[in-house]
Amino acid sequence: MWSFSFQRRFLHSSLCLMKKLKKSKTAAEQRWLQRQLKDPYVKASHKQNFRCRSAFKLLEIDDKFRLLQPGCSVVDCGAAPGAWSQVAVHRVNSAGTDPAAPPGTVVGIDLLHIPPLDGAHFLSCHDVTVPPTHAKLLELLPKRSGSYLAEKILLPGGSLLCKYLDGILAHELQEKLSRVFNSVQTLKPNASRKDSAERYFLARIYKKP
């Protein structure tokens, strides 16, 4: 039954892309749609019911570094459409699907609307940089957790994973992180396209100032 559901969803998505490909007018639109049709991570995301291909970036990083453990609290900033939250819900057991493991907490925040997800609390249409959002976030967290709001909600020993675009400001950000974390690594998962400037900083073992 599930296999049929996944295959049907993937087929529908592929047909939608083909229709868009026929309707697209610009060369850039044609190239983007052709890339989507050929992208193995796009295909896998439909087959495994992830909201977008970025889920595989987090899966790859977490498989290697084991950041997401049952009982952990996770804040997903810029969460829409919710693929990283899907991964986090499963790995920290925030939906309580494993009764033998401690339940975690997942909170997603974005200026955009985020479709509901069992096991996650979403603050859609919220600005993560303003105090009212911080107050709502702290109400939802049983324990403070990790995000770039580190001074407000990160516990000593916590971790931060953030995306950045490679450029002149990246070194400055790395230096700032190095002052408050014991370890800062630069990562580029295999699921990140080779021609993309995106990278990730993994900062571990937060040192409370």
Model confidence at 148, pLDDT cuts 50, 70, 90, reads low
Tens digit of each residue's pLDDT (9 = 90 or more) over 43-77: 888 899 999 999 999 999 999 999 999 999 999 99
Question: Is residue 7 pLDDT above 50, yes or no?
Answer: no
For residue 166, CA distances in Å to 49, 104, 171, 189 come to 30, 32, 9, 14
- How far is CA 171 from its chain centroid? 23
Tokens found for residue 100: 């033998």
At residue 89, does pLDDT exceed 60?
A: yes
Q: Poorest-confidence range of 15-19, 39-43, 82-86?
A: 15-19
Q: Which of 83, 74, 63 lies closest to 107, judged by CA?
A: 74
What is the torsional sign of CA 69, 73, 76, 80?
A: positive
Whole-number pLDDT of residue 1: 26
Q: For residues 142, 204, 63 and 34, what is the CA-based torsion angle, rounded to 10 degrees? A: 100
pLDDT at 193: 87
Answer whether residue 131 shows pLDDT above 50.
yes
Question: Which of 163, 188, 194, 208 is labelled catalytic?
Answer: 163
What residue type is 5 in one-letter code?
Answer: S
Give the pLDDT score at 143: 60
Query: What secondary structure letter does DSSP report for 136?
Result: H
The reported pLDDT for the residue numbered 166 is 85
Summarize pLDDT for 156-188 with one digit per residue, the tens. Answer: 888 999 999 888 889 999 999 999 999 999 999
**Least confident span in 11-20, 38-47, 165-174:** 11-20
Q: How is residue 147 annotated by DSSP?
A: S
Distance CA 108, CA 44 (A): 23
Of residues 26 and 158, more confidence is placed in 158
Mean pLDDT of 72-98: 96
Residue 40 pLDDT greater than 70, yes or no: yes
* pLDDT over threshold 60, residue 3: no
Low-confidence winner among 10-19, 96-105, 107-116, 158-167 (lowest mean pLDDT) = 10-19
Is 208 considered catalytic here? no
Alpha carbon 202 to chain centroid, angstroms: 13
Strand partners, 64: none
Strand partners of residue 122? 108
Section 3-15 average pLDDT: 31
- In our burial notation (b when 16+ CB lie closer than 10 A, e otherwise), range 35-72 reads ebeeeebbbebbeeebbbbbbbbbbebbeeeebbeeeb
* 131 membership: H or E segment, kind and range: helix 131-140
Is 146 in a helix, a strand, or coil? Answer: strand
Q: 208 falls in which pLDDT band (50, 70, 90)?
A: confident
How is residue 179 written in tokens?
A: 């002052």
